[in-house]
């Protein structure tokens, strides 16, 4: 029915017949029953035509011991205490109807009498040998494979479902919030809502689809599994494990149309923050290097000018006719090398360098250099 191209019209038709009941007695005689597993939005997308607004939800829970008492007669010949056997069956299945019938059938087929006080060991041995070990070979009729496929088949949600289920296994319960992800997980069969929390459904599911299985499937599905595992192993401190460059872009493209688990979202977000930080630091380093380049160019210019001035001073010293007036423009020892204004600006540039204010230093040296032609003209 989920694949019907006319499913919206079909459920709209059901709703119309319900509304006809007030005026049409024939409509009151019609009853529609749909059996299966599906979320409401899988059946009808148009919220204005949905029949679920006129219905009522019925919570299906696992069987209790009193509800499976009709099975007792079938166990009387192979157990001293059939009711104790049923209690062990419930302990493994949590009342799941299919598993109850299958496990009772396996107990009877084993044809091994179960003495009193040995029910726990006897039932556990049958569960391990006939259900848990090589479960894929023993899954007839298919039940566990169907649960596995429900967890994995939807490429858009499988990472999210496995991440949520992993969280439940690690904590044994999480608050129920009726989210889409929790609904899908409940529909898969591995989780159930109890007392306002989402919990593992039963021991059989929890043993087969355990944390090791979940991590194995997540590693298979995630293209960045190795990096994510390294990041988690470091308690999220190893920044080198985060994705960068092309690897990050590929991961973001892969995740674009998927509903991810919380840890996947956190990992990709941390990778993006790390990338942005590295890019910002590179830009800062580039600006500093550019500023230092200007400063070094200014210093090189001053060094060249100093050489020219010293050469001019030697020429003046060797030719008394070229000697300047008593107020000279050049420095020897503690006297100024450049004219007073240029020397003051140069000193300001040196002071700016000492303060690591390279922009100001470059500016001061540039002004100082502009005074050089004055000396050359002199």
What pLDDT sits at residue 26?
81
More confident residue, 376 or 164: 164
Query: Where does the pLDDT of residue 341 fall: very low under 50, low under 70, confident under 90, or very high at 90 and above?
Result: low
What pLDDT sits at residue 135?
94
d(CA 236, CA 222): 18
Average pLDDT over residues 340-362: 64
What pLDDT sits at residue 301?
64
Domain boundary, last residue among 93, 113, 133:
133
Secondary structure (DSSP) of 74-139: GGTTTBS-HHHHHHHHHHHHTT-HHHHHHHHHHHHHHT--B-TT-HHHHHHHHHIIIIITTHHHH-
Whether residues 38 and 71 share a domain: the answer is no
Tell me the backbone φ, ψ of residue 197, rounded to 5 degrees.
Answer: -130, 155
- Three-state DSSP class for residue 210: coil
What pLDDT sits at residue 171?
93
Percent of the chain with pLDDT over 70: 74
Average pLDDT over residues 259-280: 86
Whether residues 80 and 123 share a domain: the answer is yes
Q: Which of 111-115, 138-142, 284-288, 351-355 has the lowest mean pLDDT?
A: 351-355
Are the C-beta atoms of residues 374 and 330 closer than 8 Å to each other? no
Are the C-beta atoms of residues 113 and 119 closer than 8 Å to each other? no
Whether residues 323 and 369 share a domain: the answer is yes
Burial of 40 (0-12, 13-18, 19+ CB in 10 A): middle
What pLDDT sits at residue 300?
67
What pLDDT sits at residue 285?
75
Whether residues 300 and 332 share a domain: the answer is yes
Q: Name the helix (H) or strand (E) containing 192.
A: strand 191-194
Average pLDDT over residues 182-188: 91
Q: Which domain holds residue 118?
A: 65-133
Average pLDDT over residues 361-375: 61
Whether residues 85 and 15 share a domain: the answer is no
Average pLDDT over residues 204-233: 93
Token pair of 349, please? 């540039």
**Does the residue 227 lie in any domain?**
no
What rounded mean pLDDT belongs to the chain?
Answer: 81
What pLDDT sits at residue 142?
92
What pLDDT sits at residue 45?
67
More confident residue, 315 or 281: 281
d(CA 165, CA 174): 10
- Using the 8-state DSSP alphabet, how is residue 364 labeled? H
**Does the residue 167 lie in any domain?**
no
Per-residue model confidence as pLDDT tens digits over 49-98: 666 666 677 777 899 999 999 999 999 999 999 999 999 999 999 999 99
pTM over 0.75? The answer is no
Whether residues 79 and 120 share a domain: the answer is yes
CB neighbourhood size of 247 (10 A): 14
Percent of the chain with pLDDT over 90: 38
Secondary structure (DSSP) of 288-355: HHHHHHHHHHHHHHHHHHHHHHHHHHHHHHH-GGG---SS-S--STTS-SS-HHHHHHHHHHHHHHHT
Nearest to residue 258, comparing CAs of 187, 186, 154? 154
**Does the residue 264 lie in any domain?**
no
Whether residues 81 and 127 share a domain: the answer is yes
**196 backbone φψ class: left, alpha, beta (φ>0; ψ -120 to 50):** left
What pLDDT sits at residue 126?
96
Whether residues 78 and 31 share a domain: the answer is no
Whether residues 94 and 42 share a domain: the answer is no
Per-residue model confidence as pLDDT tens digits over 11-61: 778 788 778 877 888 878 888 777 777 777 677 766 666 666 666 777 778
What pLDDT sits at residue 330?
42
pLDDT over 60 (residue 373): no
Whether residues 98 and 37 share a domain: the answer is no
As for how many domains the chain has, the answer is: 3
d(CA 76, CA 53): 47
Burial of 344 (0-12, 13-18, 19+ CB in 10 A): middle
More confident residue, 84 or 236: 84
What pLDDT sits at residue 205?
97
């Amino acid at each position: 029915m989920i694949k019907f191209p006319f499913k919206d019209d079909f459920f709209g038709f059901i709703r119309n017949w319900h509304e006809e009941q007030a005026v049409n007695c024939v409509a009151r005689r019609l009853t529609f029953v749909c059996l299966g597993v599906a979320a409401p939005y899988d059946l009808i997308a148009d919220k204005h035509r949905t029949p679920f607004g006129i219905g009522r939800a019925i919570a299906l829970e696992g069987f209790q011991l009193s509800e499976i008492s009709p099975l007792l007669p079938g166990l009387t010949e192979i157990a001293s205490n059939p009711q104790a056997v049923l209690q062990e069956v419930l302990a493994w299945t949590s009342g799941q109807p299919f598993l109850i019938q299958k496990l009772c059938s396996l107990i009877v087929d084993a044809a091994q009498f179960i003495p009193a006080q040995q029910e726990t060991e006897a039932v556990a041995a049958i569960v391990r040998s006939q259900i848990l070990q090589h479960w894929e070979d023993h899954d007839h009729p298919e039940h566990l494979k169907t649960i596995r496929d429900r967890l994995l088949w939807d490429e858009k949600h499988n990472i999210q479902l496995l991440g949520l289920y992993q969280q439940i296994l690690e904590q044994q319960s999480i608050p129920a919030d009726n989210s889409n992800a929790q609904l899908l997980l409940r529909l898969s069969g591995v989780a159930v809502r109890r007392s306002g929390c989402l919990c593992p459904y039963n021991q059989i599911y929890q043993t087969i689809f355990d944390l090791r299985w979940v991590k194995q499937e997540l590693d298979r599905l995630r293209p960045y599994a190795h990096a994510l595992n390294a990041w988690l192993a470091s308690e999220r401190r190893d920044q080198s494990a985060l994705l960068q460059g092309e690897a990050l872009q590929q991961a973001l493209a892969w995740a674009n149309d998927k509903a991810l688990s919380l840890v996947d979202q956190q990992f990709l977000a941390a990778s993006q923050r790390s990338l942005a930080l590295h890019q910002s630091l590179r830009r800062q380093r580039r600006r500093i290097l550019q500023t230092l380049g200007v400063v070094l160019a200014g210093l090189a210019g001053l060094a060249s000018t100093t050489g020219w001035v010293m050469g001019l001073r030697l020429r003046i010293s060797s030719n008394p006719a070229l000697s300047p007036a008593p107020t000279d423009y050049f420095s020897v020892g503690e006297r100024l090398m450049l004219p007073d204004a240029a020397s003051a600006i140069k000193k300001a540039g040196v002071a700016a360098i000492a303060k690591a204010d390279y922009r100001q230093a470059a500016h001061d040296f540039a002004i100082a250099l502009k005074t050089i032609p004055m000396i050359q003209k002199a």
